[in-house]
């Protein structure tokens, strides 16, 4: 009892203090040499074990990605796609795009009815929402370029975990149980996941183990050709979908030049199109850079205002200009130039909110949970990889390939099905992100690496749909401007604005009432109800003494493992 009242008194004291004084200083896992931070302890451990065996960060990327496909089926995947940004120990940087793409027979209006209206859920649920997966091509692209251990060693732990099973966590059981009805609706047979789950249940995936064995034995062809491909296409056909064997054979991951820019003497390396993350991050950070944040309290009214106005302008540009650069011309240099940003921010006033334009935006935001996944890796040689990967929403399309045991993504919803009609994240799009055969849908994923004084400083990323960009942003500011440690930064409450809908999403109970009342009086609309979690940031900070601090997001089951 005494303890409880002490705790209450302490928390009252803390809430009454200024934000800068109430910072809860929590330190994440500290490792001397190497670390993996991911959505599940099993995956982080498999990645870290590979490093301990002498593998590098790229080997660990393959191992961690495959492990997540087994232990974190909600977002970890082989039936989805993603992006990787890397910085090798000699300072070289690069980026890999293994984003899904539209099938060969996809067409611009494929989600519209005869009257030209969007058919509800067609782009986001079931077999019609599936894009051609890129994950396995991505893994092999990375492995063939940089891998050092035998591939078998990287995949075997995941095969064993799929066959022998792992224990379901409480959060996982809840997520699975919540999705049961949709599993039933999306499939024409009773899938393995379609039952009632309880924390601690053993989840074994024999068919997935067999698929992984085919990949172990035949490499990339074990997925895009042969039995796996046939099972995939047969089931898609059975359900009336359009992905063909030719689509699978033709898929290629693409090396791209990352977006690189400086923010207050830090070099930021982030993902380029078809991920919008790097461009938007550059725009927002450059909009903020002229302001002296040491004068602005963290998460105060002014802080929320400044970030919101920068975000609003950037997301408006995202809507209009951004799409797959292999299909549309995007003026990346102009959009991120100092002059352009200065001009965009010239209408910003501390006295009142700039209202977003009146474009109609239909329904508000997505009701799906936060289900992409990010992992950060630093190896004992100094290489770093930052990978965000997804099926799009939780369990993707909910279609589980019969006989092959893996979920297919619902990434087609990231295209703009029709201008002015929002996707599940409330994001709008334009011509630049219209559907075309083999085009990649625009993403918000923002795997990022930060360098300072020529040295690696931070590896960071998160899931969260449209909120990915602003979560990465806030964590960069936490560390660079507010001197927080990695775990402390990850723990901070977050907020988000994306131009339309014209609201600030805030994690509930994270911001004090005074701040919210003041924001309201300045014309900002705050929305907490549907914002229980904004992102799950998994990051690594290199401390001044060279050790690594993990930031594993407690909003999920995320865990850092290292040595």
Query: Residue 81: which of 262, 223, 187 has the closest Cα?
Result: 223
19 is catalytic: no
User: Minimum distance between the CB of residue 331 and ligand DON, rounded to whole angstroms?
Assistant: 21
Q: How far is 545 from 548, CA to CA, in rounded Å?
A: 9
- Contact by Cβ (8 Å): 385, 391: no
The CA radius of gyration of the chain, in Å to the nearest whole number, is 22
**Which one, 321 or 482, has the nearer CB to ligand DON?**
321
Query: Residue 70: which of 171, 139, 163 has the closest Cα?
Result: 163
**Which one, 88 or 462, has the nearer CB to ligand DON?**
462
Strand, coil or helix: what is 410? coil
Q: In whole angstroms, how far apart are CA 392 and each of 103, 371, 465?
A: 17, 7, 8
User: Minimum distance between the CB of residue 395 and ligand DON, rounded to whole angstroms?
Assistant: 11
User: Minimum distance between the CB of residue 423 and ligand DON, rounded to whole angstroms?
Assistant: 9
Burial class, 529, CB count within 10 angstroms (exposed 0-12 / middle 13-18 / buried 19+) = exposed
**Which one, 445 or 460, has the nearer CB to ligand DON?**
445
User: Minimum distance between the CB of residue 283 and ligand DON, rounded to whole angstroms?
Assistant: 17
**Which one, 97 or 451, has the nearer CB to ligand DON?**
97
DSSP 450-475: EEETTEEEEEE----GGGHHHHHHHH
**Which one, 26 or 121, has the nearer CB to ligand DON?**
121
Q: In whole angstroms, how far apart are CA 307 and each of 45, 281, 285, 301, 498?
A: 36, 11, 9, 10, 11
Q: In whole angstroms, how far apart are CA 525 and each of 252, 492, 518?
A: 43, 21, 11
Tokens of 389: 């990967």
State residue 481 phi and psi, 5-degree precision.
Answer: -95, -25
Distance, CA of 207 to chain centre? 27
Binding positions for ligand DON, rule: CB under 6 A: 370-372, 390, 392-393, 411, 414, 443-445, 463-465, 468
Please tell me what DSSP assigns to residue 482: T
Query: Residue 132: which of 322, 325, 410 has the closest Cα?
Result: 410
User: Minimum distance between the CB of residue 530 and ligand DON, rounded to whole angstroms?
Assistant: 12
Distance, CA of 179 to chain centre? 20
Q: What is the largest CA-CA distance in the chain?
A: 69
User: Minimum distance between the CB of residue 2 and ligand DON, rounded to whole angstroms?
Assistant: 43
User: Minimum distance between the CB of residue 433 and ligand DON, rounded to whole angstroms?
Assistant: 11
Query: Residue 244: which of 256, 255, 234 has the closest Cα?
Result: 234
- Contact by Cβ (8 Å): 22, 512: no
- Contact by Cβ (8 Å): 219, 140: yes
Buried b (16+ CB within 10 A) or exposed e, 143-167: beebbebebebbbbbbbebbbebbe
**Which one, 131 or 157, has the nearer CB to ligand DON?**
131
Q: How far is 478 from 487, CA to CA, in rounded Å?
A: 11
User: Minimum distance between the CB of residue 528 and ligand DON, rounded to whole angstroms?
Assistant: 17
* Non-local CB neighbours of 11 within 8 Å, separated by 6+ positions: none
User: Minimum distance between the CB of residue 327 and ligand DON, rounded to whole angstroms?
Assistant: 16
Strands (E), 139-258: 166-167, 202-203, 254-256
Query: Residue 561: which of 33, 17, 202, 182 has the closest Cα?
Result: 33
**Which one, 275 or 456, has the nearer CB to ligand DON?**
275
Q: How far is 82 from 253, CA to CA, in rounded Å?
A: 10
Exactly one of 179, 308, 372, 390 is catalytic; which is it?
372
Q: SS3 letters for 39-91?
A: CCHHHHHHHHHHHHCCCCHHHHHHHHHHHHHHHCCCCCCCCCEEEEEEECCCC
Question: Which residues belong to the active site?
Answer: 372
């Amino acid at each position: 009892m005494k303890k409880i009242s002490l705790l209450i008194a302490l928390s009252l004291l803390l809430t009454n203090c200024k934000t800068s004084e109430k910072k809860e200083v929590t330190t994440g896992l500290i490792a001397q040499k190497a670390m993996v931070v991911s959505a599940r302890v099993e995956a982080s451990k498999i990645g870290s074990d590979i490093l301990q065996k002498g593998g590098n960060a790229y080997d660990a990327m393959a191992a961690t990605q495959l492990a997540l496909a087994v232990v974190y089926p909600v977002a970890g995947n082989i039936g989805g796609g993603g992006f990787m940004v890397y910085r090798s120990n000699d300072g070289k940087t690069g980026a890999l795009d293994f984003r899904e793409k539209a099938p060969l027979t996809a067409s611009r209006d494929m989600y519209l009815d005869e009257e030209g209206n969007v058919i509800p859920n067609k782009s986001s649920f079931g077999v019609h929402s599936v894009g051609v997966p890129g994950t396995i091509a991505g893994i092999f692209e990375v492995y063939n370029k940089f891998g050092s251990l035998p591939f078998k060693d990287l995949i075997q732990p995941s095969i064993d975990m799929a066959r022998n099973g792992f224990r379901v966590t409480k959060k996982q059981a809840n997520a699975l149980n919540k999705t049961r009805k949709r599993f039933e609706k999306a499939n024409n047979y009773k899938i393995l996941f379609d039952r009632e789950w309880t924390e601690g249940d053993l989840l074994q995936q024999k068919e997935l183990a067999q698929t992984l064995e085919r990949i172990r034995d035949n490499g990339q062809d074990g997925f895009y050709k042969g039995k796996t491909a046939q099972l995939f296409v047969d089931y898609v056909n059975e359900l009336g979908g359009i992905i063909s064997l030719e689509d699978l054979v033709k898929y290629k991951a693409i090396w791209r030049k990352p977006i690189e820019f400086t923010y207050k003497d830090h070099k930021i390396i982030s993902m380029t199109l078809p991920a919008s993350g790097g461009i938007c991050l550059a725009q927002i950070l450059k909009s903020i850079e002229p302001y002296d944040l040491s004068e602005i309290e963290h998460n105060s009214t002014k802080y929320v205002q400044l970030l919101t106005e920068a975000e609003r302008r950037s997301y408006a540009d995202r809507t209009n200009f951004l799409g797959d650069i292999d299909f549309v011309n995007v003026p990346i240099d102009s959009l991120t130039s100092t002059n352009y940003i200065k001009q965009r921010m010239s209408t910003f006033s501390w006295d009142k909110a700039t209202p977003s334009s009146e474009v109609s935006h239909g329904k508000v935001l997505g009701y799906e949970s936060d289900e992409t996944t990010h992992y950060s890796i630093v190896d004992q040689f100094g290489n770093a990889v930052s990978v965000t990967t997804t099926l799009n929403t939780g369990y993707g399309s909910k279609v589980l390939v019969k006989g092959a045991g893996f979920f297919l993504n619902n990434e087609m919803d990231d295209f703009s099905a029709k201008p002015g009609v929002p996707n599940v994240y409330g994001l709008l799009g334009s011509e630049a992100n219209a559907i075309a055969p083999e085009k990649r849908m625009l993403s918000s994923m923002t795997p990022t690496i930060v360098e300072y004084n020529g040295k690696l400083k931070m590896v960071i990323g998160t899931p969260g749909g449209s909120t990915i960009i602003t979560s990465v942003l806030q964590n960069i500011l936490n560390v660079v401007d507010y001197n927080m440690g990695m775990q402390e930064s990850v723990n901070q409450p977050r907020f988000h604005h994306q131009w339309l809908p014209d609201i600030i999403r805030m994690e509930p109970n994270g911001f004090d009432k005074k701040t919210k009342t003041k924001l309201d009086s300045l014309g900002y609309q705050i929305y907490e109800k549907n914002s229980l979690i904004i992102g799950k940031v998994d990051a690594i900070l290199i401390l001044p003494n060279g050790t690594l601090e993990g930031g594993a997001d407690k909003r999920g089951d995320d865990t850092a493992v290292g040595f």
